[in-house]
Amino acid sequence: MTRPARRASPAPIRRAQSLTREVAASVRVLGGGVTLLWAVLAVDTLVFAGGLRGFGIVPRTIDGLRGIMFAPFLHAGTTHLVLNTIGLITLGGLVLLRDRRHFAVVTLLGALVSGLGTWAIGRPAVHLGASGVIFAYLGYLLLVGVFERRFGAVLLSALAAWGFGGMVWQLLPRDGRVSWEAHAFGFLGGALAARRLARRGRR
């Protein structure tokens, strides 16, 4: 006597399919963003001979205000963008996998606060790069557990502190070649986003 094979429960299958879709969507978003940054660098290098870098943030100048919009897309060279690509994929990926809406808010608020803060108090130089947004992701990940006070959020913050906590030293003015101002204000933007989103979640 044989027994009919049991069918797999549809609930685990749906969860697996949902997770697969989430991961695929995250890969598309991050992949598209990173591809755009590399395309901008290629055009800047090959067509404009680095001339687009002048559209970065120049503190306390009228022309420098445009850099708040353009600076996150501009980089000083391949090494600069390689480092930022790693940060975008790791930190941005964690935020994106947790919540796509949170990812959008943290990205936009981080870029805005980082840009405005750098323009207001930054050193006389051209500040550019996506590092302000990366540090917004860091600020969000480290503080989301503090503001939400839920097990999953606290665990995420603890893992972020363990894996990326050393990056907080880059919030300090240690290297004249690094825009610590963009880092610090980007981190602040991520912290503000974490607090704001946690309040909305509780409501």
Give the count of beta carbons closer than 10 Å to the beta carbon of residue 33. 20
Q: For residue 192, give the 3-state DSSP assignment.
A: helix
Predicted confidence band at 166 (pLDDT cuts at 50, 70, 90)?
very high
pLDDT score at 162: 96
Total domains, the chain: 1
**26 versus 187: which is more confidently predicted?**
187
Domain around 99: 30-202
Q: What is the mean pLDDT of residues 141-158?
A: 94
Predicted confidence band at 25 (pLDDT cuts at 50, 70, 90)?
confident
Digit-coded pLDDT (tens) for 97-110: 899 999 999 999 99
Q: What is the mean pLDDT of residues 77-85?
A: 97
Res 1 pLDDT > 60? no
**Residue 121: inside a domain, yes or no?**
yes
pLDDT score at 165: 94
Res 62 pLDDT > 60? yes
**Residue 55: inside a domain, yes or no?**
yes
* HEC per residue, 55-90: HCECCCCCHHHHHHHHHHHCCCCHHHHHHHHHHHHH
pTM over 0.75: yes
**Residue 171: inside a domain, yes or no?**
yes
Q: Decide: 38 and 84 in contact? Cβ < 8 Å.
A: no
**Residue 23: inside a domain, yes or no?**
no
Digit-coded pLDDT (tens) for 115-138: 999 999 999 999 999 999 999 999
Res 184 pLDDT > 90? yes
CATH of the domain at 47: 1.20.1540.10
Please state, rounded to an integer, the average pLDDT across all residues of the chain. 91
